[in-house]
Amino acid sequence: MGGNSKSLLPLVEILISVGIFAIAVMLTLELFLLASFLGTKTSDTAKAIFEVQNVAENIKTIKTDAEMEKYINDELNGGIVYYDVDWNIVDNQDKAVYNLTIKMDVDAYSSGGLYKFNIELSKITKYPFIDENKDENYIPVLVNVDASKFILK
C-alpha cells in the first residue's frame, strides 16, 4: 500500500498544475476578449465623434429658420438618424446598430432665435464584457454634445 500512495503523488501534482494552468488560461482569454471589445468601443467612439462633429458643423453653417427646419426635418429625419454596423445611414431602427438623436430648444429674442441643441450618438445594444453588468435599460452613449446657433431675423 505504501508504494501506491507514492505513485499517486506525481499524478496529484500534475492535476493541480493542469488546474492552475486552466484557470490562468481562462483569465487570459477573458482579458483578450475584453481588450478586443474595448478596441471596438474606442473605434465606435471615434466614428461617433466624427458623425456628431459633422452635424454640429452643418448646424453652424445654417443662416435662416427655414434652412434649419429643412435640415432637421429632411437631412436628420426629424432629429433621429439610424446607422448600420458600417456607419451608413439606414431608414429604420430594425437595421440600425447606432442611433443619433437631436433635441432642440429655441429661445426667441427680438433680433432672432437662439437654437440650443443636444446631439447624442449611442449604440442601440450593449457591448459584451464591457456593459454586461449594467442595468437592463442602460444605453451605451458614445458621444453627447451641446451646441447652439443664433439666427438673425
98-109 pLDDT, tens per residue?
A: 999 999 998 988
Look at 6-20, 43-57, 88-102, 125-139 and tell me which has the smallest mean pLDDT. Answer: 125-139
Section 52-77 average pLDDT: 90
Neighbour-count burial of 52, counting CB atoms closer than 10 A to its CB (0-12 exposed, 13-18 middle, 19+ buried): buried
Which of the four pLDDT bands, split at 50, 70 and 90, describes residue 37?
confident
Q: Which three cell numbers stand for residue 41?
A: 468601443
Whole-Å CA distances, 132 to 45, 92, 94, 102: 18, 26, 22, 27
Phi/psi class of residue 126: alpha, beta or left (left: φ > 0; alpha: ψ in -120 to 50)? beta
Residue 126 is classified by DSSP as P
pLDDT at 45: 94
Longest dimension (CA), the chain: 102
Q: Give how many domains the chain has, as a whole number.
A: 1
Residue 132 is classified by DSSP as T
In residues, how long is the chain? 153
User: What's the pTM?
Assistant: 0.76
pLDDT at 111 over 90: no
55, 83 contact by CB (below 8 A) = no
Q: Which three cell numbers stand for residue 86?
A: 458600417
Residue span of the structural domain in which 95 resides: 2-152
pLDDT at 137 over 80: no
Helix, coil or strand: residue 128: coil
Q: How far apart are CA 96 and CA 90, in angstroms?
A: 7
pLDDT at 153: 75
